[in-house]
Every structure is written in C-alpha cells, then in structure tokens.
Amino acid sequence: MGKNIYVETTPVVEPKAAIESDDPESVAAQASWRIDEREHRYVKEVLDGGFPGGSRTNFVGRFEEAFAATFETDYAITFANGTATLHAALAAAGVGPGDEVIVPPLTMASTSLAVLHQGATPVFADIDRTTFNLDPESVRRCLTDKTRAVIPVALYGLSADMDPIMELSRSHNLTVIEDAAQCFLGRYHGRLVGTLGHFGSFSFQNSKHMTCGEGGAVITSDTTLARETRRFSSLGYGLVGADPGASEVNKRALVHPDFERHVSLGFNYRLSELCAAFLLGQLEKLEDFVDRRRQCAAAFREVVDGCDWLIPQANPPEYLHAYWCYAVRMDVNGDTSMWQKFYDRFVELGGDNFYGAWALTYKEPIFKSLCPQSPATGRCPVAEEIQPFLIQFKTHYEKREIAERQAEILDRTISSFR
C-alpha cells in the first residue's frame, strides 16, 4: 500500500446495489439457483420408497461410486459432515492418544478439532507467506518421534505444496490426510487435489462447491484404509467393508441371536439416503459450479491486479485453483484498524459483506484450555502476521455479472483510500 494512507472524509457513497439478481423478487431465486429438477427427482425417488428397512434406492452407494469416479480414486465413503471425515480418517490411520498431528493454524478449527476428538495432539506448523498454506519446511521442523500424520488444507481452493509434504511422509512413515473441503476439482501438477495423500476429505456444507446442507466424504485408493474408515463411521460394525453395502456375513448368520456385530470402536457418522440423493444431482453439475466460481474470482482479480496494497493469494502456474472464495491480504503497514474501515466502506457502497480469516486455531479458547503447554503467540509468526489482514470475497454467485457488480464496488472502495 502507499506509504501515506488516509480515508477520504467525504466520500461519494452510492445507494446499496441489489446484488442477488435483476429480479426484484430474487432472494428465493438466488438461494435456489444451484438446485434443479435432478435433485427434486432423486429426492422424490427416496421419498417414494418409504424408508424401508434397508435401502431400495441405494443412493449412498450410487453417489459414492460416482464421486470416486469423478475424483479418479477407488473408494469414496460418505459422512454426515466434513469434520467426521477427518476424525474417521485419523482413526483409520491408527492415530490416537500420545500421537501428534501437524496442522495449519490458518483454517477452520474443525481440522484441529478432529485431532482432539481422536485424543491426539495438534501441532501447528506455519504457513507460506504467498499461498497462505502449510509451509513444508515448517512441517519438517515440527516433526518429532510422536508425529503420526499431517493434515494439509487446500485453503480457499488452492492446494498445499504436496510433493515435499509427501516426501516427508515417506521418509518418516506419516499418514497424509488432505483437507480438501474448499477445493473441488482443483489440481496440483496435473493431479486432482484429494488424491495426492493417503486420504482426501471433502465437505458438503452449504457454502461449498456442492452441497446437501451438511455432509462429507473421504476418498482413498487403499482398501484397508477404506474399510477402516467406513467401519469407524458405522459403529464399528464388523460386517462393513470398503465398498458400500459390502459384507462377508450372510443374512442367516446376521439374524441369529449369537451374532456379534461390533468389532471396533466407531461412531454413527453415516450420510442419509436423502442427502446422498440430493448430492448425486449436485455432482452432475459440479464442473459447472466450479467454473462459475472461477469466473467470479476472475472478476475480482481484474480489479485487484491494479491495486498495489491488496495482495491476492498466490496461484502458481502448476496449480489449478478452485476458488471457494477470492482471498487477498491487505498490505497496510501493519494498521490493523484498516480491515474494519475497508469492510465498512465496501458495505456502505453496496458490497456483499465479505469475511475475514478465522482466528488462528491455537488462539481459540478451547485450544488455549486443552493445549496450555504452548504459548498463545509466537508459534507461527507468518500466520500471525497475515491473519488480521486477510479478506475473503465470496464467489458463490449464480452469474459472473453479479461478481462484476461486486468488483465494481470493490474498485470504488479502493479508490476511496489514498
């Protein structure tokens, strides 16, 4: 940013713009543009089945097979949400009390909460200054003889630098769980994000590229890991296999009063047939959903490229960004008050409210309580420096034209600061 920064005291403020669409009754339409006859048809098929014992429609199996094919992997296991996915993957990898799992501090806290759910200890590695993702060198410095796993996050839709992380995995016998909740159809050196580690974890929460309100999936090509992941999601049932509905137990043995069902500790994390039916419709449109976000991000990028104090998340040429949002860092000489001033001006001019980054996970109250042995500041200096200045512009708009209107408001907002 320029060395002399000030806010104009008498800016010209235009009335707030309608951002949803040109239709005055657009609120409902904007909320439902991601839904069409496919979701309605598949959900109706489940409802018409009447929820019998056992599924006649098997949308869970149909969706898992289609999701695995989309991501060019052997297995997909669905879950009730995208935190349960991480918990189950950790359990399937054998992570437990006394183990350490390396995580980034700059992301949704669920990544680290899943580690705590499994009784392990999250260890926070710092981030790269340009991509905002895990710095592989910081990961290396965090390794101890207790380290069992690493969870790199594809933050905002951009893959972490996975090759050096996987090299550390091979040399130290670590399990790598890619948290790809924000990265659908992103790529790293030509490979799909989520297929680079031992597991890929996805979320279907309503802000994600595809959704059923809440849900998640784990992908892997390891049969043993797939079986253990599914078993953990299904109350530890011994009859569960890597594939949906797989069982080596025949019906005659299953109904016998002496049948023993539970062979390991597990949770009821399974996805419902209704959600799976809805997701199948969403999956059929996933490429279009991701392309819309990339188009919306491009509208913001055209404005940001002309501003020397809004620094976009780096997008190396060998990466394909999925743009869950369009993220920038304010370079304002350390003036933390500028974030609120910028937000207020953007909204005043008619902008759709954007978000700041999450508080660094280890600064959240629960982590201060459960991990008191480590200092609350100074663990990850790059993340601590960057986090207060991050802006996350939304990209989940129906049309690029809506994002272009937001970008115009952004341009006026930038111009009101000198």
Taking the domains of the chain in order of start, what are their residue ranges? 26-33+286-415, 37-283
Q: What tokens were used for 140?
A: 């290396």
Which CATH class name applies to 26-33+286-415? alpha beta
User: What pTM value is reported for the model?
Assistant: 0.91
Catalytic residue among 208, 285, 394, 399: 208
Instruction: Give the list of residues 6+ apart from residue 26 with CB closer than 8 angstroms, or none.
Output: 18, 20
Looking at residue 205, its pLDDT comes to 97
Looking at residue 243, its pLDDT comes to 87
Could you list the pLDDT tens digit for every one of the 418 residues in the chain? 444 454 544 454 554 544 444 443 444 445 589 999 999 999 999 999 887 666 667 999 999 999 999 999 999 999 999 999 999 999 999 999 999 999 999 999 999 999 999 999 999 999 999 999 999 999 999 999 999 999 999 999 999 999 999 999 999 999 999 999 999 999 999 999 999 999 999 999 999 999 999 999 999 999 999 999 999 999 988 888 888 866 555 677 778 888 888 889 999 999 999 999 999 999 999 999 999 999 999 999 999 998 999 999 999 999 999 999 999 999 999 999 999 999 999 999 999 999 999 999 999 998 888 876 555 667 899 999 999 999 999 999 999 999 999 999 999 999 999 6
Catalytic residue flag (residue 208)? yes
Looking at residue 345, its pLDDT comes to 97
Q: How far is CA 330 from the centre of its chain?
A: 23
Looking at residue 373, its pLDDT comes to 59
Determine the Cα–Cα distance for residues 317 and 68; give it in Å rounded to an integer: 26
Options 3.40.50.10490, 3.40.640.10, 3.40.50.2300, 3.20.20.70; which CATH number does 37-283 get? Answer: 3.40.640.10
Q: Are the C-beta atoms of 127 and 386 separated by less than 8 Å? A: yes
